[in-house]
């Protein structure tokens, strides 16, 4: 900005009219807004509008007849009390928390382990690394359907495999109310590993080799150099991986629909499936919007924590 004002001064001097600083400032401001406008319009249209609409909708009686009449009368907090009085909501919230924490821990630990493993040089490193990407390339619904077959209690591949190893082989992966959520988490971990591994692997490439050389001269063990060099150097990358992972995990829908459809007996209902069920099965869009808003709120709270953590880092 300072350069532009410096350039502006001599130009205005050459003109016959006396310089008008107020006008210059106004013009500059106009230019600034001109550049910002496209972004603001875009954000307002595609992020702001749906967000506001969703919040408004959660206070409206938005039913199938709304599509014909265009009328959606406000009904106060009816939708909210309906959702909060539904015992399914508490269950779904709890499942969402377990699912998100379980998935993130699993994906991150295995992803980091693999990333560290692949930083070593060995034959076929590149081939293996690209093969591990496969789960990420398969559409989630396809993975869901395939895993549903694999995890079938009687005819699934996993149980017959465990059976031949003599490890039982009649685990009710998706058919027991205690087991289903764990199975769904395991499948999601499998899906999320490649993403975590790729980003962390990229981060590891950025860590200067000299640091490790220095550490080995100081006689640090492998564990010590991992803890004192790798982890701190990776911190920004780790935050990004966890935040992105959280955002995509907390709103999970397609995988669960394909694997269990929220069952058995609602044991795998999450906030994502609940909002789907409210909106598209019961066609109660108001109640669906309430659950959607809660999901947004959770993400927003998390985003605030993330921004604060980042700011502290900058200091």
Partner 1 sequence: MSNRFTPRVAVPLTVVSALIGGAVLSGCGQQRDPDVYTVLNSSTDESYHRWDAQTLARCGKRLGVTIEQQSVPAAQVMTKALRMASSKSLPDVLQLDASEMPTFAEAGGLIPLKDLGLTTKDIPEGIVDFGSYEGTYYGAARTVNTLALFYNKDTLDKAGLKVPTTWAEMRAAAKKLTHGRQYGLALSAGGAEDGVFQFTPFMWSNGGDETKLDSPEVAGALDYWKSLLKDGSLSKSTVNWTQADVNDQFMAGNAAMMINGPWQVETLNSKKGLDWGIAEIPVPEPGDDSVGPLGGGVLTVPNTGDEEREKMSAKIIGCMSGEQEQITYALNSWMVPANEKAAAEWRTKVPELDALADQVATARSRTAKLGARWSSVSLALQSAFQSALTGESSEAALTRAQKRATSGN
Coil, strand or helix at 60 = strand
Size of the site for partner 1 (CB under 8 A): 53
The residue among 91, 95, 80, 85 whose CA lies nearest residue 284 is 80
155: contact with partner 1 by CB under 8 A: yes
User: Which one of residues 47, 53, 119, 154 is an interface residue with partner 1 (CB under 8 A)?
Assistant: 154
Give yes or no for residue 124 binding partner 1 (CB under 8 A): no
Give min distance, CB of 46 to partner 1, in A.
9
Query: What contacts 95, CB < 8 A, 6 or more positions away?
Result: 181, 267, 268, 269, 270
Q: Is 45 in the site for partner 1 (CB under 8 A)?
A: yes
Closest separation in Å from C-beta 231 to partner 1: 41
Rounded Cα distance, 49 and 53, in Å:
6
Candidates 59-67, 100-108, 115-123, 237-245 — which segment interacts with partner 1 by CB under 8 A?
59-67
Q: Footprint of partner 1 on residues 178-237 (CB under 8 A)?
A: none
- Take residue 259 and report the two structure tokens written for it: 């694997």
Structural tokens at position 254: 């397609």
20 binds partner 1 (CB under 8 A): no
Q: Per CB under 8 A, does 53 bind partner 1?
A: no
Compute the least distance from the CB of residue 202 to partner 1, in Å. 35
Which pair of structure tokens corresponds to residue 170?
Answer: 């009649």
Quick check: 264 binds partner 1 (CB under 8 A)?
A: yes
Count of Cβ atoms closer than 10 Å to residue 118 Cβ: 19
Q: Does 15 bind partner 1 (CB under 8 A)?
A: no
Percent composition of the chain: helix, strand, coil (DSSP 3-state, to 5): 75, 0, 25
| 52 lies in the binding site for partner 1 (CB under 8 A) | no
Give Cβ neighbours of residue 217 (< 8 Å, ≥ 6 apart).
Answer: none
The residue written with tokens 């401001």 in the block is 29
Q: Which of 16, 30, 137, 165 binds partner 1 (CB under 8 A)?
A: 30
Closest approach, Cβ 37 to partner 1, in A, equals: 5
Q: Which of 13, 17, 73, 85 binds partner 1 (CB under 8 A)?
A: 85
Q: Does 64 bind partner 1 (CB under 8 A)?
A: yes
Q: Which one-letter DSSP state was computed for residue 277?
A: I
Sign of CA dihedral 174, 187, 251, 179: positive
Contacting positions for partner 1 (CB under 8 A): 4, 7-8, 11, 24, 27-28, 30-31, 33-35, 37-38, 41-42, 45, 63-70, 82, 85-88, 148, 152-155, 172, 174-177, 260-267, 277, 280-283
């Amino acid at each position: 900005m300072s350069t532009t004002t410096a350039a502006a001064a001599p130009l205005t001097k050459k003109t016959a009219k006396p310089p008008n600083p107020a006008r210059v400032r106004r013009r500059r401001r106009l230019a600034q807004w001109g550049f910002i406008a496209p972004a603001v319009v875009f954000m307002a249209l595609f992020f702001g509008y749906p967000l506001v609409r969703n919040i408004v909708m959660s206070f409206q009686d938005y039913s199938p007849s709304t599509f014909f009449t265009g009328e959606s009368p406000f009904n106060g907090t009816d939708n909210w009390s309906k959702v909060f009085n539904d015992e399914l909501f508490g269950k779904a919230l709890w499942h969402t928390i377990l699912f998100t924490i379980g998935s993130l821990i699993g994906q991150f630990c295995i992803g980091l382990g693999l990333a560290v493993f692949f930083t070593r040089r060995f034959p076929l490193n590149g081939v293996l690394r690209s093969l591990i990407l496969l789960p990420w390339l398969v559409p989630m619904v396809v993975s869901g359907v395939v895993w549903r077959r694999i995890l079938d209690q009687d005819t699934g591949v996993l149980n017959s495999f465990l059976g031949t190893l003599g490890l039982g082989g009649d685990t009710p992966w998706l058919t027991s109310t205690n087991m289903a959520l764990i199975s769904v988490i395991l499948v999601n971990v499998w899906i999320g590993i490649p993403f975590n591994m790729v980003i962390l692997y990229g981060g590891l490439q950025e860590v200067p080799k000299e640091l490790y050389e220095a550490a080995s001269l100081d006689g640090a063990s492998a564990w010590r150099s991992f803890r004192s060099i790798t982890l701190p150097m990776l911190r920004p990358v780790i935050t990004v991986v966890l935040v992105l992972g959280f955002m995509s995990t907390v709103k999970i829908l397609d995988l669960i629909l394909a694997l269990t459809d929220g069952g058995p007996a609602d044991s795998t209902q999450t906030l994502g499936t609940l909002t789907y069920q409210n909106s598209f099965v019961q066609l109660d869009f108001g109640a669906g919007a309430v659950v959607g808003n809660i999901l947004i709120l959770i993400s927003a709270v998390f985003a605030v924590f993330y921004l604060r953590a980042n700011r502290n880092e900058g200091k």
